[in-house]
Structure 1
Amino acid sequence: MDSTTHTFYPIHGMDSRKHLDAYYSNKEDMVFAEDSLKFPMANLHYQLSSGRVEGTLLIDISVGSFIHHLYSASNSFKKIVILKFREKCIMEMSRWLHDRTGAYDWSHTSSAAAELEGTRDQLQEKEMRLRSSIMQILKYDFEQENITSPVLLPLADCIISAWLLEAISQSEDEYMKNLEKVSKLLKPGGHLLLIGTLDATYVVVGEERLHCFKYNEDFVKNILGKLDFVIDYCAVQRRRNVSDLTDYNAIIFVVARKGP
């Protein structure tokens, strides 16, 4: 792999299973658990269990094909629609959704979710609840004005977007444009839960070094303000691992309310 060459997720995609193994698995050599698993799950549980973020419909538009960030969402929202860019990610998630042979093993995250909620005796129920909450898995296209075209979704009460915008944006203007398209799927007064990496320029998946748009905390806050979002909560965790697979400095978690 040429260390100076970065592929671009919207054009080149990535191996979704290798992405899960490297950053979200339960393997002994997976060093990102504190940042990619525990930090977002704890913050999502805290925010969603508080009752401050609630409603009927939640849309998830995140990179890759992970599901661990949706356990808490399935406690608060009856309907979840998942949007994915790549067909391979849709296939990976559908395999888990329908409990098919070869589905990815997420038992380490259902256990973590149960521990957060104090319901360790209900592990099977947690996965069943999440599966029953997922109404659709759709493909999106940011080149379209309606990114889910030809499907027209009802406006969501809440949107979760994890590690996506930095993967599909190459400039400040493009990041803002992409975030604006995401926000069009959200009701006025609805909440955006945004998870991302600060100061990252690349992430390695298998043999590919994928581009990341580099930004900092102030940039996120300024962009949200320009799009008429009010930030209700922001948490930043400094990087907790040592690895050359990616070069981010911190993880950010933001809860922002859409203005009228």
Structure 2
Amino acid sequence: MMDSSPHKLYHVHGYDSRQCLEHYFSDKPDMVFGDDTLKFVIENLTQVFSVGHINGDILIDLSSGSFVHHLYSACELFKNIIVLKVNNRCIMELKRWVDERTGAFYWGHTSTLLQEKEENSDQCQDQEAKLRSAIQHVVKCDLEKENMTEPLVLPPADCVISVWLLDLISKDQDDYIRYLRKFSRLLKPGGHLIIIGILDTTYFTVGKDKFHVFTYDKDFVRKVLVGEGFIIDYCNVKERTAVSDLIDYKAAIFIAAHKEK
């Protein structure tokens, strides 16, 4: 039975970022979400980036948690990657990996997945090192400020990637649209937006805590993007196969779109 008390909010209460990685992204035998959190993400990003339309000087990553595998393909196409995080613990966890400090989370199993998708696996053997070099800045942001990175002013991005963050910070449809507009303001005219989310979800669990997830379906997010002036270039939905009560999502969704100039 679900806890009757309100679920915590990711961007308000914070969470144990390392435990989240262990639950949903590790190579442990009992980590059952690999098809959706690892393979689905890597395969779709590889597919979208291989077309050659999405590239440039700056990519901004606005994602939940402190995972890095979604940026492997991007580091080949963008000169600079700027990572924005709302939680200090996620920043500390990510910087531990970027700086190759003792105790950093192990991501080797995900670079292996990328090698399986790339035609030339030799290019992937040092993927983690390439990504570390490409991540120029890891910046704390405040989602409620007009300029989320105040006092820093970010240059407009060629591409913004957001993985699961909109799902976790939005209390309702109005919130989702409001945050999406903020994210899209980070783009250059004609820039690309990539959103990865989870459909028909109400909660996810980290340790003993349950966190809120905004419940929506594919039609909602497509309609919102079109309403905000985006043209959808690619959309893929994968039905859930994992058996676990840590999270109650029904499917994963990947959408790539570009802003009309």
Deviation at 1:122, TM superposition (A): 5.1
Q: Which residue of 1 aligns with 2:191?
A: 190
Deviation at 1:16, TM superposition (A): 0.1
CA distance in 2, matches of 1:247, 1:88: 25
Q: Which residue of 1 aligns with 2:28?
A: 27
Deviation at 1:78, TM superposition (A): 1.3
Give yes or no for contact 1:114–1:126 (8 Å, CA) kept in 2. Answer: no
Deviation at 1:138, TM superposition (A): 0.3
Q: Which residue of 2 aligns with 1:128?
A: 129
Residue type of the alignment partner of 1:257:
H
TM-score (norm 2): 0.97
Deviation at 1:113, TM superposition (A): 1.3
- Alignment RMSD: 1.3
Structure 1 counterpart SS, 2:253: strand
Query: Does structure 1 residue 158 correspond to structure 2 residue 152?
Result: no
CA distance in 2, matches of 1:257, 1:79: 19
Deviation at 1:121, TM superposition (A): 4.2
Deviation at 1:143, TM superposition (A): 1.1
Map 1:1-260 → 2, pairs under 5 A: 3-5=3-5, 6-121=7-122, 123-260=124-261
Residue type of the alignment partner of 1:205:
V
CA distance in 1, matches of 2:122, 2:158: 30
Deviation at 1:159, TM superposition (A): 0.6
CA distance in 1, matches of 2:89, 2:125: 26
Deviation at 1:200, TM superposition (A): 0.4
Give yes or no for contact 1:197–1:252 (8 Å, CA) kept in 2. Answer: yes
Residue type of the alignment partner of 1:4:
S
Residue type of the alignment partner of 1:97:
V
Structure 2 counterpart SS, 1:56: strand
TM-score (norm 1): 0.97
CA distance in 1, matches of 2:109, 2:152: 34
Deviation at 1:123, TM superposition (A): 5.0
Unmatched 5+ stretches in structure 2: none
Structure 2 counterpart SS, 1:247: coil
Give yes or no for contact 1:155–1:187 (8 Å, CA) kept in 2. Answer: yes
CA distance in 2, matches of 1:122, 1:85: 32
Give yes or no for contact 1:161–1:194 (8 Å, CA) kept in 2. Answer: yes
Q: Deviations over 1:65-110 (max 9, x none)?
A: 0000000001111110000001111110000001010111000011
Aligned residue pairs total 260
Deviation at 1:119, TM superposition (A): 4.1
Deviation at 1:115, TM superposition (A): 2.0
CA distance in 1, matches of 2:219, 2:124: 39
Residue type of the alignment partner of 1:213:
F
Structure 1 counterpart SS, 2:126: helix
**CA 1:138 to 1:2, structure 2 compared with 1: closer, same or farther past 3 Å?**
same
CA distance in 1, matches of 2:4, 2:242: 23
Q: Deviations over 1:179-217 (max 9, x none)?
A: 100000011111000000000000001111000000000
CA distance in 2, matches of 1:253, 1:186: 19
Identical aligned pairs, as a percentage? 51
Q: Deviations over 1:26-59 (max 9, x none)?
A: 0000000000000010000011121021111100
